[in-house]
Chain A
Amino acid sequence: MSKRIVVDPITRIEGHLRIEAVLDETNTIRDAYASGTMFRGIETILKGRDPRDAGLLAMRICGVCTGVHYWTSIQAVENAFGVRVPNNARLVRNLIAGSLYLHDHPVHFYHLHALDWVDVISALKADPRKAVDVAYQFTDTPWNASVEHFQKVQQRLSGFAAQGRLGIFANGYWGNPSYRFSPEENLIAVSHYLDALAMQRGAAKMMAIFGGKNPHPQSIVVGGVTCVQDIENPSRISLFQTLLAEQHRFIRQAYLPDILMAAHAYREEGLSGIGSGLKSYLAYGFFEMDNQGPGRGETLFPSGMVREGDLSKVYDFNPSKVTEDVLHSWYRGQDSLHPYAGVTDPSFTGLKKEGEIAYLDTDGKYSWIKAPTYDDQRVETGPLARLVVGYARGDARIRKAVDGLLQRGGLPATVLFSTLGRTAARAIETDLIAEAMAGWAQELAKNAATGDLSTWTPFDFAKVSRDAQGCGLSEAPRGALGHWVKIRDGKIENYQAVVPTTWNASPRDRKGRRGAYEEALIGTRLANADQPLEILRTIHSFDPCLACSVHIVDFRGRALGTYQVL
């Protein structure tokens, strides 16, 4: 006897996501559906505007991965105009993007994801002395690990737990048997949860140094960046470097060791490949390492595609192979179209109500997210995809980082294909980015010191904007991101974005193949069918960003479907 469960809202994500899962009698997931339940229509809003202004507006697609749509949009316009930015602009953009990763990944792990692994209440039972010993098992230099500190954290927590109202911790899944950490390990993680709250402010500040503010920085323009006086001022770069060093220390002494701790406690789940999903991975490549321009030179994370977990072969990435279809999405039309030709025509067909609960109509349309395919394959994007593609390409930096962690955890490379692997990949790449950022900051300081203050490439707007099209391809923290723009007579004629969570949270495609979230849930067993903890753990391992994924539409003048929810 199978049953269908609804998890809505999925919390601790950006945006509005619903998951429905079909469980068999052993509470194992046999089928799953993901639905984006909010829609804004930002691309429609972009049409007719000046392409130079698109970046700031496109950035508001998302406030969590803030900035990614900003520079990708501007890159698309620069690509259309044939404008190459000066070296300093590349460096500043890398530093702003890097700051986002340094903020976003730890916040995701500690504040959005950790409560799927960490039983906060169990930490109260921990022995602080033992916890210090445990902390030293995973690193020689553990972050903030002292008996006194752990006692303090426990005191704070017990004060909190003793009261009636637990605020954001109220009604969690505490005590669920699927939590595997010992009380001491839980205490270490809770302690870092609190530390990370303070740390993330520093990472946000790094973005503000060259971006003006965070969220939603403001210093990138078509042709370069505006923050010339912040580059010129040695104390700004120096502050940046100080903050960077502190973040890097936290990554090495807390974030990575905590991942090892999770790999230790959740080893079985990792090895049995829970949450592996599609096992086909796509990366566009990001963080330009030289001045050859987007798509030309070397990138910190290489581009490519790996199919079905086969690390022996990498397929080169070709943007023309990206298409989207809408058979199961709340839009009209069935063709698979490339984003330049993207047509979208919304048609909300509603939910099906049974008793009090509203269910998705999964035979028909059931999400505001479209179904993208690459070379007619369903793929996953994100930190794991970046590392798998880089690893398969034999990238020395990535191999060293991945092999190093696997070795320390005593784990085979196949463990990467799991929920645990996805979460670990995020931490590994954070370390890689922090290291690269130190180099970019140094280079920027050197340029400024030697009098190179060029930050912007002039262009003749009237001439280049007459009839142009271009694309910006980058990697957001959550995965491969592409913006496609067509420009005529100085105005945007068509605009399409295919974003990481469109790939990952997609519904079934026109051939009935599941999206990455849906596939990753298959075979997962719930310890308690009333508590969707294991579902959250796998879904959160993708770091969902729903506001990003749902936005593409063009329906001027057309009425919505008449279906009424409820």
Chain B
Amino acid sequence: MRVIGKREVASSSSEGFVARTGQEYEALRLRCERRLRELEASEPLNQVSLPSLLRDRGMSRRSFLKWASATTALLFLPASFEKLVARAASVMNRVPVIWVEYQDCAGNSEAVLRADGPTIDELLLDVISLEYQETLMAPSGFQAEAQLKDAVETFRGKYILIVEGSIPAEDGFGFNGPRGEGFLENLKRLSRDALAVIAVGSCASYGGIPAAYPNPTKAMGVWDIVKGKPIVNIPACPMNPANLLGVILHYVLTGALPELDYLLRPKFAFGYRIHDNCERRAHFDAGEYVERWGDEGARNNFCLYKMGCKGPMTFNNCSIIRYNDGTNWPIGVGRGCIGCSEPGFWDKYAYERPMAGANIPVPGLFELGIEKSVDILGVGLLTAAGAGIAIHAFLSAKYGKKSEEAPSSAPPKEKP
């Protein structure tokens, strides 16, 4: 994996980032400049120009710069990179993208339509040359197949393959096209010629809901199948489209994929816990909890931990960027987090009780079953503010380095 910045994750920092030195930033800046000059000199794949798009949609230069500034922050770059980010946005039409769907619900395709960052995100998705996307494309059947073939041949080795949905082990559970090609074979074929593979949503990343116990179709994530290609996972159910855009933008800007954690998630988005930046955190620290739905605590935005919120166990940037133009998010709406960006969350986290009181029948958590884990490890450890940090730091230390060397290698699986 080409990784920017070589340092290990600091074990005491929940951000997952270590400040780069001034020299490192300068080297990065020069590299970005070089990269952008190259791209600007290359032929655009479509004529959708960002400045005219902004004009058409009545977007001012000022709000564009505001977006560039927010995105620079999202990517953990210093403010001096804002101009480069703005330049990168306008050459995104040099990136061909092929988007395929397997065992999916189209939730991530839909999420992209929503574009929940600043408004500009959606416009940028118009700029990217989307060569194949079954939910939106005009042709069907043989004409769709021809379009895919053409895109693969034209951009062999250059396209980004975006995968939505898990992949069943047997062909019968999912096939596509006039030839009835199985999903598994289809993914192997298309990833072979891709520059990199981005798994969007938890199903494509880790198997998601089809892989939940008892995993009736033996569903897998992309990283279980694709070897020898850079893979980025953007989990959550569905993913936050700002994070997909961040990964693509990072690639355009630097020519490299962003730094990833041990689960191959971009650290800029998954480097910290929901809990760390939660708007209800003060109530957690003060011991003020919602005790039942709609009670006095609920009316006062108290902490949802006792109602099953898994914010302390979950790494994602929801608490910062929220959803649908920052309109709201699951904790804002008084429900709590279900840990949807973590592998195996349907079996580990997605219930409306705290982990200690989980009434879940399936084995899986920490290989012991949840009640047992709580007995052994103690409710204290599982619920303490620091537990998530400790677990993450431990796993990062254990797998982080390995994942950087061999990006497609998965960490050990939970027992089914």
Contact = CB atoms under 8 A, between A and B. Distances in A.
A41 B210 contact: yes
Interface in A185-222: 197-198, 200-201, 204-205, 207-219, 221
Contact of A172 (B103, B138, B170): B138
B405 interface: no
A320 to B, nearest CB: 28
Contact of B138 (A8, A152, A170, A458): A170
A38 interface: yes
Interface string B375-387: 0000000000000
A322 interface: no
A172 B136 CA distance: 12
Interface string A1-41: 00000111111111110000000000000000000011111
A246 B170 CA distance: 47
Given A107-B113, A348-B172, A547-B105, A44 B137 contact: no
Given A9-B176, A173-B138, A226 B333 contact: yes
B138 A169 contact: yes
B346 A45 contact: yes
B93 to A, nearest CB: 10
A160 B47 contact: yes
Contacts of A210: 333
A41 B216 contact: yes
A226 B360 contact: no
A44 B37 CA distance: 53
Interface in A483-534: 490-491, 530-532
B147 interface: yes
Nearest to A48: B361
Interface stretch (A351-359, A390-398, A439-447): A351-359
B139 A208 contact: no
B323 A208 contact: yes
Point out which of B108, B110, B181 has the most chain A C-beta atoms below 10 A from its C-beta. Answer: B110
Contact of A16 (B115, B131, B176, B301): B176
A167 B141 contact: no
A63 interface: yes
Interface in B258-282: none
Contact of A11 (B47, B130, B140): B140
A89 B329 CA distance: 19
Given A50-B359, A162-B47, A171-B144, A45 B106 contact: no
A200 B114 CA distance: 7
B122 interface: yes
A466 to B, nearest CB: 14
A244 interface: no
A39 B103 CA distance: 7
B372 interface: no
B293 interface: yes
B174 A16 contact: yes
B46 A167 contact: yes
Contact of A57 (B180, B219, B350): B350
Interface in A209-252: 209-219, 221, 223-224, 226-230, 232
A228 B334 contact: yes
B24 interface: no
B209 A224 contact: no
Given A50-B359, A201-B325, A221-B293, A216 B238 contact: yes
Nearest to A107: B113
Contacts of A66: 107, 110
A287 B215 CA distance: 35
Nearest to B97: A167
Given A52-B352, A162-B47, A170-B138, A60 B105 contact: yes
A281 B237 CA distance: 34
Interface string A61-87: 111101000000000000000000000
Interface residues of A, number: 109
A167 B131 contact: yes
A218 B338 contact: yes
Contacts of B114: 200-201, 204, 214-215
Contacts of B180: 8, 37, 351, 353, 358, 565-566
A99 to B, nearest CB: 11
Contact of A560 (B143, B172, B333, B335): B172
Contacts of A57: 209, 212, 346, 350
A60 B237 contact: yes
Interface string A372-400: 00000000000000000000000000000
Contacts of A62: 105-107
B143 to A, nearest CB: 5
Nearest to B298: A228
A330 interface: yes
A163 B346 contact: no
Interface stretch (A290-298, A415-423, A449-457): A449-457
B351 interface: yes
Given A357-B178, A455-B294, A556-B214, A168 B324 contact: no
Contact of A40 (B103, B133, B141): B103
B327 interface: yes
B51 interface: no
A37 B334 contact: no
B61 interface: no
Interface string A101-131: 0000001000110010000100000000000
A100 to B, nearest CB: 11
Interface in B96-131: 101-111, 113-116, 119, 122, 129-131
B217 interface: yes
A165 to B, nearest CB: 5
Point out which of A9, A39, A224 has the most chain B C-beta atoms below 10 A from its C-beta. Answer: A9
A172 B139 CA distance: 5
Contacts of A536: 140
A215 B294 contact: no
A432 to B, nearest CB: 24
B328 A213 contact: yes
A41 B45 CA distance: 40
Nearest to B108: A63
A208 B346 contact: no
A566 B181 contact: yes
Contact of B323 (A39, A111, A213): A213
Contacts of B216: 40-41, 44-45, 553, 555
Interface string A523-558: 000000011100010000000000100000101100
A49 to B, nearest CB: 7
A38 B382 CA distance: 38
Contacts of A350: 172
Interface string A337-357: 000000000001011010011
Interface in A127-171: 152, 156, 159-160, 162-163, 165-171
A45 B52 contact: no
A39 B257 CA distance: 33
A53 interface: yes
A541 to B, nearest CB: 14
Nearest 10 pairs of A and B residues by beta carbon: A63-B107, A41-B216, A172-B138, A358-B180, A212-B333, A348-B172, A213-B323, A63-B105, A456-B294, A226-B334
Given A11-B137, A45-B209, 20 more contacts: A13-B135, A38-B183, A40-B209, A41-B210, A49-B360, A52-B352, A60-B208, A63-B106, A120-B138, A159-B48, A167-B129, A170-B131, A171-B147, A198-B122, A205-B324, A214-B114, A219-B334, A224-B294, A226-B334, A330-B172
Interface of B: 45-49, 52, 56-57, 101-111, 113-116, 119, 122, 129-131, 133-144, 146-147, 150, 168, 170-183, 185, 208-210, 212-217, 219, 237-238, 292-294, 298-301, 322-325, 327-330, 332-335, 338, 346, 350-352, 359-362
23 contacts: A38-B183, A41-B217, A53-B350, A57-B346, A60-B105, A60-B209, A62-B106, A63-B109, A107-B113, A163-B46, A166-B46, A173-B138, A201-B115, A210-B333, A213-B323, A214-B114, A216-B238, A224-B294, A348-B173, A357-B179, A556-B214, A565-B175, A566-B171
